[in-house]
Amino acid sequence: MQSALFIGRFQPFHNGHLDIVKKILEDNQRVILAVGSAEKNYLSSNPLTAGERFRVIDESLREAGISSERYAIVPVRNVNNYALWVNHINIYVPPYTRIYTGSPIVKACYEGKYQRPDGTCKTGPEVIQVEKELEVSATKVRESILNKDDWESLVPKAAAKVLKEMELPKRLQTIKDTMDVTKYNNSY
């Protein structure tokens, strides 16, 4: 089975993420969505718990008509050592042959693990650079929520419904000035 990995914090899952998942499934039988930084929550840049993100993603994919047999959602705690990061991811997720990313650091980590110093490839997943066609980001969604702008058009309808049930706008207002200690303390 051709499986692909798509890693993100999904804080929250938005229309850009959904668009990428649909494109991944055009060329793969299954997509594994690794919910990164699963331990982070109730912070302004990471307001949702891993379980909440799982629910938003699952309901959004179901609403899009994507069979649950075609995806897996796996929470993955972060490890603050990029040299170990790929091995850490591989402990949590099922086997995959491709990784889709728009992140330069994710690409560098995979190339660092699976390329020899002379640039030739070792065995490992094919790294596919994601081309964003929708100009949306989770940061933009969170900022739109805080500014009371139209944020619902930036996420799937199912995601908007669930996020309102979770009272995400109220949570973001409450935690907007919360300091993320990991930005200031590398030992955390």
pLDDT digits (tens, 9 = 90+) for 5-19: 999 999 999 999 999
Element (H, E) at 87: helix 82-92
Percent of residues, the chain, with pLDDT higher than 70: 91
pLDDT digits (tens, 9 = 90+) for 103-152: 999 988 998 887 766 666 667 899 999 988 888 999 999 999 999 999 99
Q: Which fold has domain 3-174?
A: Rossmann fold (3.40.50)
Give whole-number Cα distances, 29 to 16, 59, 70, 72, 132, in Å: 20, 20, 6, 12, 21
pLDDT digits (tens, 9 = 90+) for 29-41: 999 999 999 999 9
Percent of residues, the chain, with pLDDT higher than 90: 76
3-state DSSP of 89-146: HHHHCCCCCEEEECCHHHHHHHHHHHECCCCCECCCCEEEECCCCCCCCHHHHHHHHH
